[in-house]
């Protein structure tokens, strides 16, 4: 294990002004995104879409520190034969890889899931390193409902995350540890704060027990928000304050950075919340984005699968990447959002 290299990559992933593009949708998930814009889910269309995103300038060079890829994409070549990994590297961005095999029902715990994919992971890591990946991602999913989450699900998922993280570091790959507390329910923001705190406390205990070197990791958490169906929604300031409070209680100072998932928030909410946290500041980690939907929804819509719309798709990506880059240093504003949009 090369701790210096791991630490260097982890800091590069969360450097001020930049964040991560989560473009690691599985074939089934990208199907849902393509269905929404009327695009057929073929290998060529997936390649064309991702190629135009990865070639977008200045977004890639100025605001995207790393890209999380799906297994198919890390092996794919652009139309001109250049590996997509090289296209990403040419912008100075770091290729990463999603290595979990998805969340499946957790036996004995109705309504809860466990993320699979640990089998043969050390061997796969070696291959991904050779293909150019310098960081990886594993997403654990924790739902909130009556009697949920259970301790069983929290513990099992955090243990799997820690096992994954230790395997990554053995292969000199920085683990993004992603324990996502979903915002699908009708719970209020206090309940999200309680569950997020419980999950993060458990996660850092497991990472310690599995001997993961925190300096060579990046945390990808949910923000503390009310459930989408909650009658009590929260202000931008409340989300920012509660999220910082929970993280300060749970995340050791040794962790280089925090890169949030967007989790179903609107594009502008995801940007505004990140910006508000960085405007408050005073915490020991760099805080940035690792968004999937909140970075890609607008470019996907503008593109809609038509070659003549690539420039419009790239303009939409440039805009969202710039807005989130500004939010990562607390320099975003609604006025800038409107002017550039």
H or E element that contains 179? strand 174-181
Residue from the set 22, 97, 162, 326 that interacts with ligand 13P by CB under 6 A: 22
d(CA 211, CA 167): 10
H or E element that contains 19? strand 19-22
Say which DSSP state 284 is in: S
CB of 204 or CB of 291, closer to ligand 13P: 291
Residue from the set 156, 195, 224, 294 that interacts with ligand 13P by CB under 6 A: 294
Strand, coil or helix: 113: strand
Active site residue 170: no
Active site residue 241: no
Q: Please report, as residue ranges, which positions from 134 to 163 form the binding site for ligand 13P (by CB under 6 A).
A: 139
3-state helix, strand, coil in the chain (%, to 5): 50, 15, 35
CB of 103 or CB of 208, closer to ligand 13P: 103
> Which of the following is catalytic: 178, 180, 206, 337?
178
CB of 295 vs ligand 13P, minimal distance in Å: 7
> Which of the following is catalytic: 18, 112, 220, 337?
220
Strand, coil or helix: 25: coil
Closest CA to 144 of 73, 222, 92: 222
x/- map, 301-340, ligand 13P, by CB under 6 A: ----------------------------------------
Handedness of CA 179, 183, 185, 188 (dihedral sign): positive
CB of 30 vs ligand 13P, minimal distance in Å: 12
Contact 98, 68 (CB under 8 A): yes
Token pair belonging to 300: 């996907």
Residue from the set 54, 291, 317, 332 that interacts with ligand 13P by CB under 6 A: 291
Give yes or no for residue 288 binding ligand 13P (CB under 6 A).
no
Contact 98, 70 (CB under 8 A): yes
Give yes or no for residue 73 binding ligand 13P (CB under 6 A).
no
CB of 54 vs ligand 13P, minimal distance in Å: 16
Give yes or no for residue 56 binding ligand 13P (CB under 6 A).
no
Binding residues (CB under 6 A) for ligand 13P: these are 22, 139, 178, 261-263, 291-294
Give the residue numbers marked as catalytic.
178, 220
């Amino acid at each position: 294990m090369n701790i210096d290299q791991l630490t260097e990559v982890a800091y590069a992933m969360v450097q001020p002004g930049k964040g991560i593009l989560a473009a690691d949708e599985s074939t089934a998930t990208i199907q849902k995104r393509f269905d929404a814009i009327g695009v057929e889910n073929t290998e060529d269309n997936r390649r064309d879409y991702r190629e135009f995103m990865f070639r977008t300038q200045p977004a890639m060079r100025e605001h995207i520190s790393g890209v999380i890829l799906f297994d198919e994409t890390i092996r794919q070549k652009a139309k001109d034969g250049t590996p997509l990994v090289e296209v990403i590297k040419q912008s100075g961005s770091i290729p990463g890889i999603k290595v979990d095999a998805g969340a499946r029902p957790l036996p004995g715990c109705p309504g809860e899931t466990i993320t699979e994919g640990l089998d043969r992971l050390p061997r796969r890591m070696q291959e991904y390193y050779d293909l150019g990946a310098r960081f990886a991602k594993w997403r654990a999913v924790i739902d909130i409902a009556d009697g949920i989450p259970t301790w069983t699900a929290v513990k099992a998922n955090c243990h799997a995350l820690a096992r994954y993280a230790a395997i990554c570091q053995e292969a000199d790959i920085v683990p993004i540890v992603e324990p996502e507390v979903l915002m699908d329910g009708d719970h209020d923001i206090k309940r999200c704060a309680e569950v997020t705190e419980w999950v993060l406390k458990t996660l850092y205990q497991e990472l310690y027990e599995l001997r993961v070197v925190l300096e060579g990791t990046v945390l990808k958490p949910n923000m503390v928000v009310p459930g989408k169906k909650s009658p009590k929604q929260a202000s931008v300031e409340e989300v920012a304050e509660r999220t910082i409070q929970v993280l300060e209680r749970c995340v050791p100072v040794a962790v280089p950075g925090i890169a949030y998932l967007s989790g179903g928030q609107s594009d502008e909410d995801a940007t505004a919340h990140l910006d508000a946290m960085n405007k408050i500041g005073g915490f020991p980690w760099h805080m940035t984005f690792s968004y999937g939907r909140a970075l890609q929804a607008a470019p996907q819509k503008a593109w809609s699968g038509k070659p003549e719309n690539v420039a419009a798709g790239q303009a939409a990506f440039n805009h969202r990447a710039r807005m989130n880059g500004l939010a990562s240093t607390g320099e975003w504003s609604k006025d800038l959002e409107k002017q550039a949009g």
